[in-house]
A and B are shown apart, each in its own frame.
Chain A
Amino acid sequence: MSLDASLTGGGLPELATVYWRPRATDRSLTRAGRLWTLTTIAHTVPFIVAATLLIALNPVTIPVALMALAHAWIIPELYASRAAGVLRRRAPAGAEAEQVALGLLGDLIDTAPRELHAGTGLVMERGQLGVWLVGEAGAVLARPGGRRVHCCCVKVTERELPSSDRIAHLLLALREDEAGFATVANLAFSGAVWRLRRRLPADMRPALSAAAEAARAPGRHLAAVGADRHHAPSGAVAG
Protein backbone atom coordinates (compact mmCIF):
# COMPACT_ATOMS: atom_id res chain seq x y z
CA MET A 1 0.00 0.00 0.00
CA SER A 2 1.45 3.29 -1.03
CA LEU A 3 1.28 6.63 0.71
CA ASP A 4 3.19 8.39 -2.03
CA ALA A 5 1.24 7.20 -5.01
CA SER A 6 0.59 10.77 -6.09
CA LEU A 7 4.32 11.38 -6.35
CA THR A 8 4.70 8.56 -8.82
CA GLY A 9 1.69 9.60 -10.84
CA GLY A 10 -0.35 6.69 -9.52
CA GLY A 11 -2.73 8.49 -7.20
CA LEU A 12 -6.38 7.58 -7.05
CA PRO A 13 -8.21 9.11 -10.01
CA GLU A 14 -11.07 9.96 -7.64
CA LEU A 15 -8.85 12.62 -6.06
CA ALA A 16 -9.86 14.87 -8.95
CA THR A 17 -13.35 15.05 -7.45
CA VAL A 18 -11.98 16.47 -4.19
CA TYR A 19 -9.24 18.63 -5.66
CA TRP A 20 -9.62 21.24 -2.91
CA ARG A 21 -8.64 18.84 -0.15
CA PRO A 22 -5.03 18.60 0.90
CA ARG A 23 -3.76 15.06 0.59
CA ALA A 24 -4.10 13.15 3.85
CA THR A 25 -0.94 12.43 5.76
CA ASP A 26 -0.11 10.88 9.08
CA ARG A 27 0.26 14.36 10.52
CA SER A 28 -3.01 15.67 9.08
CA LEU A 29 -4.88 12.68 10.51
CA THR A 30 -3.33 13.26 13.91
CA ARG A 31 -4.34 16.91 13.73
CA ALA A 32 -7.86 15.99 12.65
CA GLY A 33 -8.11 13.64 15.61
CA ARG A 34 -7.07 16.35 18.04
CA LEU A 35 -9.57 18.76 16.50
CA TRP A 36 -12.33 16.20 16.98
CA THR A 37 -11.38 15.83 20.64
CA LEU A 38 -11.38 19.61 21.11
CA THR A 39 -14.74 19.86 19.37
CA THR A 40 -16.18 17.17 21.63
CA ILE A 41 -14.90 19.01 24.68
CA ALA A 42 -16.35 22.26 23.37
CA HIS A 43 -19.72 20.55 22.91
CA THR A 44 -19.86 18.99 26.36
CA VAL A 45 -17.94 21.07 28.88
CA PRO A 46 -20.17 24.17 28.64
CA PHE A 47 -23.25 22.05 29.43
CA ILE A 48 -21.51 20.44 32.40
CA VAL A 49 -20.32 23.82 33.71
CA ALA A 50 -23.78 25.31 33.23
CA ALA A 51 -25.39 22.39 35.07
CA THR A 52 -22.95 22.71 37.94
CA LEU A 53 -23.51 26.44 38.21
CA LEU A 54 -27.28 26.09 38.11
CA ILE A 55 -27.27 23.55 40.90
CA ALA A 56 -24.88 25.65 42.94
CA LEU A 57 -26.89 28.83 42.47
CA ASN A 58 -30.33 27.44 43.13
CA PRO A 59 -31.40 23.83 43.70
CA VAL A 60 -34.74 24.67 42.11
CA THR A 61 -32.98 24.65 38.75
CA ILE A 62 -31.98 21.00 39.08
CA PRO A 63 -34.36 19.86 36.30
CA VAL A 64 -32.75 22.36 33.92
CA ALA A 65 -29.32 21.25 35.07
CA LEU A 66 -30.25 17.65 34.35
CA MET A 67 -31.31 18.65 30.86
CA ALA A 68 -27.95 20.33 30.34
CA LEU A 69 -26.17 17.19 31.52
CA ALA A 70 -28.29 15.13 29.16
CA HIS A 71 -27.14 17.35 26.31
CA ALA A 72 -23.54 16.84 27.38
CA TRP A 73 -24.08 13.10 27.21
CA ILE A 74 -26.22 12.91 24.08
CA ILE A 75 -24.05 14.95 21.72
CA PRO A 76 -20.97 12.68 21.92
CA GLU A 77 -23.28 9.67 21.74
CA LEU A 78 -24.79 10.96 18.51
CA TYR A 79 -21.33 11.36 17.03
CA ALA A 80 -20.41 7.83 18.08
CA SER A 81 -23.63 6.52 16.58
CA ARG A 82 -22.79 8.28 13.34
CA ALA A 83 -19.37 6.64 13.49
CA ALA A 84 -20.86 3.17 13.74
CA GLY A 85 -23.10 3.98 10.80
CA VAL A 86 -20.16 3.94 8.39
CA LEU A 87 -19.88 0.19 8.89
CA ARG A 88 -23.59 -0.51 8.65
CA ARG A 89 -24.49 -3.30 6.26
CA ARG A 90 -26.57 -2.51 3.21
CA ALA A 91 -29.33 -4.62 1.69
CA PRO A 92 -27.84 -7.73 0.11
CA ALA A 93 -28.11 -8.49 -3.58
CA GLY A 94 -29.29 -11.87 -4.84
CA ALA A 95 -27.78 -14.96 -3.23
CA GLU A 96 -25.99 -16.04 -6.39
CA ALA A 97 -24.44 -12.62 -6.98
CA GLU A 98 -23.35 -12.44 -3.34
CA GLN A 99 -21.68 -15.82 -3.66
CA VAL A 100 -19.81 -14.84 -6.83
CA ALA A 101 -18.70 -11.54 -5.30
CA LEU A 102 -17.60 -13.29 -2.13
CA GLY A 103 -15.39 -15.57 -4.21
CA LEU A 104 -13.61 -12.61 -5.77
CA LEU A 105 -13.18 -10.87 -2.45
CA GLY A 106 -11.84 -14.10 -0.99
CA ASP A 107 -9.24 -14.20 -3.74
CA LEU A 108 -8.08 -10.70 -2.80
CA ILE A 109 -7.48 -11.41 0.87
CA ASP A 110 -5.62 -14.00 2.86
CA THR A 111 -6.95 -16.66 5.20
CA ALA A 112 -7.03 -14.69 8.48
CA PRO A 113 -8.87 -11.65 7.12
CA ARG A 114 -11.17 -13.98 5.18
CA GLU A 115 -12.17 -15.65 8.43
CA LEU A 116 -12.62 -12.27 10.09
CA HIS A 117 -14.84 -11.19 7.20
CA ALA A 118 -16.92 -14.35 7.48
CA GLY A 119 -17.62 -13.56 11.13
CA THR A 120 -17.96 -9.80 11.03
CA GLY A 121 -18.59 -8.70 7.44
CA LEU A 122 -15.50 -6.49 7.60
CA VAL A 123 -12.09 -6.81 5.98
CA MET A 124 -9.00 -5.84 7.92
CA GLU A 125 -6.12 -4.32 5.99
CA ARG A 126 -2.87 -3.06 7.41
CA GLY A 127 -1.70 0.26 5.98
CA GLN A 128 0.95 2.83 6.67
CA LEU A 129 -1.55 5.15 8.36
CA GLY A 130 -2.82 2.41 10.65
CA VAL A 131 -5.02 -0.64 10.41
CA TRP A 132 -8.16 -0.35 8.30
CA LEU A 133 -11.49 -2.09 8.68
CA VAL A 134 -13.26 -1.93 5.36
CA GLY A 135 -17.02 -2.27 5.22
CA GLU A 136 -19.61 -1.91 2.49
CA ALA A 137 -19.99 1.85 2.67
CA GLY A 138 -17.19 3.05 4.84
CA ALA A 139 -13.96 2.26 6.58
CA VAL A 140 -12.54 2.64 10.05
CA LEU A 141 -8.88 3.43 10.53
CA ALA A 142 -7.35 2.34 13.83
CA ARG A 143 -4.41 4.65 14.30
CA PRO A 144 -1.03 3.43 15.52
CA GLY A 145 -1.30 2.79 19.24
CA GLY A 146 -4.77 1.35 18.83
CA ARG A 147 -6.54 3.92 20.99
CA ARG A 148 -8.10 6.18 18.38
CA VAL A 149 -10.17 5.42 15.34
CA HIS A 150 -11.12 7.55 12.37
CA CYS A 151 -14.44 6.60 10.80
CA CYS A 152 -14.68 7.41 7.12
CA CYS A 153 -17.73 7.52 4.88
CA VAL A 154 -16.67 6.25 1.48
CA LYS A 155 -18.45 4.00 -0.96
CA VAL A 156 -18.60 2.82 -4.52
CA THR A 157 -20.82 5.00 -6.66
CA GLU A 158 -22.80 2.10 -8.14
CA ARG A 159 -25.68 1.14 -5.87
CA GLU A 160 -26.74 -2.32 -6.92
CA LEU A 161 -23.58 -4.25 -6.19
CA PRO A 162 -23.34 -7.30 -3.93
CA SER A 163 -21.92 -6.52 -0.51
CA SER A 164 -18.58 -8.26 -1.12
CA ASP A 165 -18.12 -6.28 -4.34
CA ARG A 166 -18.69 -3.03 -2.46
CA ILE A 167 -15.97 -4.04 -0.04
CA ALA A 168 -13.70 -5.16 -2.89
CA HIS A 169 -14.07 -1.76 -4.56
CA LEU A 170 -12.96 0.03 -1.42
CA LEU A 171 -10.21 -2.48 -0.72
CA LEU A 172 -8.70 -2.11 -4.19
CA ALA A 173 -8.84 1.68 -3.98
CA LEU A 174 -7.22 1.55 -0.56
CA ARG A 175 -4.45 -0.67 -1.88
CA GLU A 176 -3.90 1.61 -4.87
CA ASP A 177 -3.35 4.73 -2.82
CA GLU A 178 -3.92 4.71 0.92
CA ALA A 179 -3.46 8.45 1.46
CA GLY A 180 -5.64 9.16 -1.56
CA PHE A 181 -8.30 6.87 -0.14
CA ALA A 182 -8.18 8.73 3.18
CA THR A 183 -8.45 12.01 1.29
CA VAL A 184 -11.47 11.01 -0.79
CA ALA A 185 -13.30 9.63 2.25
CA ASN A 186 -15.39 11.95 4.39
CA LEU A 187 -14.38 11.90 8.03
CA ALA A 188 -17.48 11.11 10.07
CA PHE A 189 -15.88 10.69 13.46
CA SER A 190 -12.59 10.51 15.25
CA GLY A 191 -12.37 9.34 18.80
CA ALA A 192 -11.62 6.59 21.24
CA VAL A 193 -12.05 2.97 20.21
CA TRP A 194 -14.38 2.28 23.13
CA ARG A 195 -16.78 4.99 22.00
CA LEU A 196 -17.19 3.30 18.63
CA ARG A 197 -17.18 -0.21 20.07
CA ARG A 198 -20.27 0.23 22.21
CA ARG A 199 -22.22 1.52 19.22
CA LEU A 200 -21.25 -1.29 16.86
CA PRO A 201 -23.39 -4.38 16.36
CA ALA A 202 -22.06 -7.18 18.56
CA ASP A 203 -20.93 -9.30 15.61
CA MET A 204 -18.68 -6.50 14.34
CA ARG A 205 -16.92 -5.85 17.62
CA PRO A 206 -14.33 -8.62 17.24
CA ALA A 207 -13.13 -6.92 14.05
CA LEU A 208 -12.68 -3.62 15.85
CA SER A 209 -10.83 -5.35 18.66
CA ALA A 210 -8.59 -7.12 16.16
CA ALA A 211 -7.85 -3.86 14.32
CA ALA A 212 -7.08 -2.01 17.54
CA GLU A 213 -4.82 -4.84 18.67
CA ALA A 214 -3.05 -4.90 15.32
CA ALA A 215 -2.57 -1.14 15.51
CA ARG A 216 -1.05 -1.52 18.98
CA ALA A 217 1.35 -4.20 17.83
CA PRO A 218 2.42 -3.35 14.31
CA GLY A 219 3.89 -6.20 12.36
CA ARG A 220 2.65 -8.87 14.74
CA HIS A 221 -0.97 -9.25 13.76
CA LEU A 222 -2.16 -10.37 10.36
CA ALA A 223 1.15 -9.65 8.75
CA ALA A 224 -0.03 -11.46 5.66
CA VAL A 225 -3.12 -9.33 5.21
CA GLY A 226 -3.38 -8.47 1.57
CA ALA A 227 -1.22 -11.34 0.41
CA ASP A 228 -2.47 -12.02 -3.02
CA ARG A 229 -2.34 -14.78 -5.49
CA HIS A 230 -2.99 -12.54 -8.45
CA HIS A 231 0.37 -10.88 -8.53
CA ALA A 232 1.08 -10.08 -12.12
CA PRO A 233 3.84 -8.08 -13.73
CA SER A 234 2.59 -5.75 -16.40
CA GLY A 235 3.62 -6.08 -19.97
CA ALA A 236 1.36 -3.43 -21.28
CA VAL A 237 0.06 -3.20 -24.77
CA ALA A 238 -1.75 -0.24 -26.16
CA GLY A 239 -5.11 -0.07 -24.49
Chain B
Amino acid sequence: MSRLIRMDRTGHTTVAEWTAEDGPAVEAAVAAFRAELDQGYYAVISRGEGLAEQVRQLPIDASLVILRRPIAGG
Protein backbone atom coordinates (compact mmCIF):
# COMPACT_ATOMS: atom_id res chain seq x y z
CA MET B 1 0.00 0.00 0.00
CA SER B 2 1.45 3.37 -1.04
CA ARG B 3 0.71 6.51 0.94
CA LEU B 4 0.60 10.21 0.26
CA ILE B 5 1.06 12.09 3.51
CA ARG B 6 1.05 15.77 4.35
CA MET B 7 3.13 17.18 7.20
CA ASP B 8 0.83 19.47 9.13
CA ARG B 9 -0.04 20.61 12.64
CA THR B 10 -1.32 17.16 13.57
CA GLY B 11 2.08 15.59 12.87
CA HIS B 12 1.03 14.27 9.52
CA THR B 13 -2.17 13.42 7.73
CA THR B 14 -2.63 10.61 5.25
CA VAL B 15 -4.09 12.27 2.17
CA ALA B 16 -4.37 9.19 -0.02
CA GLU B 17 -3.58 5.49 -0.08
CA TRP B 18 -3.39 3.32 -3.15
CA THR B 19 -1.97 0.27 -4.81
CA ALA B 20 -0.77 0.33 -8.39
CA GLU B 21 -3.40 -2.25 -9.35
CA ASP B 22 -6.29 -0.29 -7.92
CA GLY B 23 -7.19 2.15 -10.71
CA PRO B 24 -9.83 4.19 -8.89
CA ALA B 25 -7.57 4.57 -5.84
CA VAL B 26 -4.73 5.73 -8.08
CA GLU B 27 -7.01 8.26 -9.74
CA ALA B 28 -8.15 9.55 -6.38
CA ALA B 29 -4.55 9.77 -5.21
CA VAL B 30 -3.51 11.68 -8.33
CA ALA B 31 -6.38 14.12 -7.84
CA ALA B 32 -5.48 14.59 -4.17
CA PHE B 33 -1.82 15.03 -5.14
CA ARG B 34 -2.70 17.76 -7.61
CA ALA B 35 -4.91 19.51 -5.11
CA GLU B 36 -2.13 19.58 -2.51
CA LEU B 37 0.38 20.95 -5.01
CA ASP B 38 -2.13 23.63 -5.90
CA GLN B 39 -2.24 24.53 -2.21
CA GLY B 40 1.49 25.26 -2.33
CA TYR B 41 2.90 22.00 -1.04
CA TYR B 42 5.96 20.34 -2.52
CA ALA B 43 6.02 16.57 -2.92
CA VAL B 44 9.14 14.65 -1.98
CA ILE B 45 10.15 11.01 -2.10
CA SER B 46 13.15 9.51 -0.39
CA ARG B 47 15.84 7.98 -2.54
CA GLY B 48 17.79 6.33 0.24
CA GLU B 49 21.20 7.23 1.71
CA GLY B 50 20.44 10.85 2.42
CA LEU B 51 18.83 11.57 -0.92
CA ALA B 52 15.39 12.93 -1.60
CA GLU B 53 13.75 14.03 -4.81
CA GLN B 54 11.01 16.51 -5.48
CA VAL B 55 8.32 15.07 -7.73
CA ARG B 56 5.73 16.95 -9.72
CA GLN B 57 3.79 13.88 -10.73
CA LEU B 58 2.60 11.18 -8.40
CA PRO B 59 4.98 8.20 -8.54
CA ILE B 60 2.46 5.39 -8.22
CA ASP B 61 4.96 2.74 -7.18
CA ALA B 62 6.55 4.84 -4.46
CA SER B 63 5.72 3.52 -1.02
CA LEU B 64 5.65 6.96 0.54
CA VAL B 65 5.22 10.44 -0.91
CA ILE B 66 5.62 13.29 1.57
CA LEU B 67 4.10 16.73 1.12
CA ARG B 68 6.06 19.55 2.66
CA ARG B 69 5.73 23.30 2.92
CA PRO B 70 8.34 25.66 1.41
CA ILE B 71 11.32 26.68 3.47
CA ALA B 72 12.85 30.14 3.67
CA GLY B 73 15.82 31.88 5.19
CA GLY B 74 14.96 33.07 8.69
Contact = CB atoms under 8 A, between A and B. Distances in A.
Interface of A: 1-2, 10, 12-14, 17-18, 86, 93, 96-104, 108, 125-127, 137-138, 152-158, 160-162, 164-165, 168-170, 172-173, 175-176, 181, 184-186, 225-228, 230-239
A231 B26 CA distance: 19
Contacts of A175: 46-47, 50-52
Contacts of B71: 12, 14, 154-157, 169-170, 173, 181, 184
A104 B70 contact: no
Q: List the 6 closest pairs (A to B, CB-CB), nearest first.
A: A100-B11, A226-B50, A153-B74, A234-B59, A232-B62, A186-B73
Nearest to B7: A165
Interface string B34-64: 1001000010111111111111111111111
A96 B11 contact: yes
A157 B8 CA distance: 12
Which secondary structure characterizes the binding site on chain A? mixed
Nearest to B66: A172
B20 interface: yes
Given A161-B7, A234-B59, A235-B60, A18 B73 contact: yes
Contacts of B47: 175, 228, 231
A154 B44 CA distance: 18
Contacts of B30: 237-239
Which secondary structure characterizes the binding site on chain B? strand
A127 B59 contact: no
Given A155-B72, A176-B54, A233 B7 contact: no
A165 to B, nearest CB: 5
Contacts of B8: 158, 161, 165
Interface residues of B, number: 44
A17 B74 contact: no
Contacts of A2: 51
Contacts of B37: 239
Given A237-B57, A239-B30, A98 B73 contact: no
Contacts of A160: 9
Given A96-B11, A154-B72, A172-B68, 13 more contacts: A97-B10, A156-B68, A157-B69, A157-B72, A161-B69, A162-B9, A170-B71, A175-B52, A184-B73, A226-B51, A228-B50, A230-B45, A233-B59
B54 A10 contact: yes
Nearest to B58: A239
A225 B7 CA distance: 22
A234 B60 CA distance: 7
B64 A227 contact: no
Nearest to A184: B73
Nearest to B31: A239
B5 interface: yes
Nearest to A225: B50
Most central of A160, A162, A169, A239 by chain B CB within 10 Å: A239
